[in-house]
Amino acid sequence: MANLLEITGRETLSQLDYVGSLNIQWWATLRGMRAALPLVGNRHRWRAAVHQMLEIGVDALPMVALMSMCSGFILAMQGASELRRFGALHFVIDLVAVGFTRELGPLLTAIAVSGRSGSAFAAEIGTMKVTEEIDALKVMAFEPVEFVLAPKYLAALVAVPCLSIVAAFFGILAGGLFMFFSTHLDLLLYFRYVLTSIELRDVVAAMIKSLAFATIIAHVGCLEGLRVRGGPDAVGRSTTSAVVRSTFLVIVADAIFTTIFYFVGKA
C-alpha cells in the first residue's frame, strides 16, 4: 500500500509539473510572439511562421480531406441504418452537418496534426537540443522561445482552424454523396438543408476548439523537444511522447469544451 501511494503521489506531482511547464512555456511564447507577427515583427520570424503554416496546413490537406470523407461516409451510413427504421432518413443531414461542424471536424484535424506536426516539432527541437543548437542560440543572445517556438505556435493558430473548416466541408460533402446515391437527393438541395441545420454557435464552438487544440499540439510538441536529454534515442522517445500526450490532452480538452457548450446552450 505504501508503495502504491508513493507511486501515485510521484506520478501526480510529475503530471502537475508537466502542466505547470506547459503554462510557463505558453506565457513565454505569447510574450515572444510579437516578433513573429507580420509588419510589426521580425521578417525572418514571419517567414519561418509562413513556412510552418505551409507544413502544418497545406501539406496536411490531402490527409485531412481523406480522413473526413471516410468519416463522413461512415457517419452517414451508420446514422441512416438506424434512422431508416423510423422513417427519419432526412435527419442524417442534421447528424452529419452538426456533427462535423461542432465535433468531428476539429477533432479529426487535431488528431492528424498531432501525428504529423506535433511529432515533427518534438523531433526538430529535440535534435536541436541534442546537437546543442538551443544552447548556441542562448550564447548568441537569441531567445529560443522567440526564435523557435513562437513561429510554430503562430502557424498552428492559423493552420489548424483552417484545416478544421476543410475537414467539416469534406465530411459534409461525403454525407451529401451518400444521400445522393441512396435517396437521389440533389447536392444543391442537400447543402441548403445543411445551411439551415448549422447555427452560428456551432461554428464559433468549432473555432474555439480548434484554437485550443492548436495550442495543445504546438506546446506539447515543443516542450517534449526541449525536455530531451541524452542521444538520438531520446529524440525518438520524445517524439512518441509528444503524439501520445497531445492526442490524450486534445480528447480531454474536447470533452471539457463539449460539456461547457452543452450546459451553456441548455441555459
Q: Where are the domains of the chain?
A: 2-266
**Per residue in 136-183, pLDDT tens?**
877 887 777 778 888 899 999 999 999 999 999 999 999 989 888 888
Range name among 45-54, 81-90, 258-267 with the lowest pLDDT average:
81-90
Nearest 5 degrees, angle CA 21-CA 26-CA 30?
150
pLDDT value at 127 more than 70: yes
pLDDT value at 1 more than 60: no
* Average of per-residue pLDDT values in the chain: 86
Question: Grid coordinates representing 3?
Answer: 508503495
pLDDT the model gives residue 142 = 74
In order, the DSSP letters of 4-46 are: HHHHHHHHHHHHHHHHHHHHHHHHHHHHHGGGGSTTTS-HHHH
pLDDT the model gives residue 267 = 47
250 within 8 A of 110, measured Cβ to Cβ: yes
Q: Quick one: pLDDT band at residue 210, thresholds 50, 70, 90?
A: very high
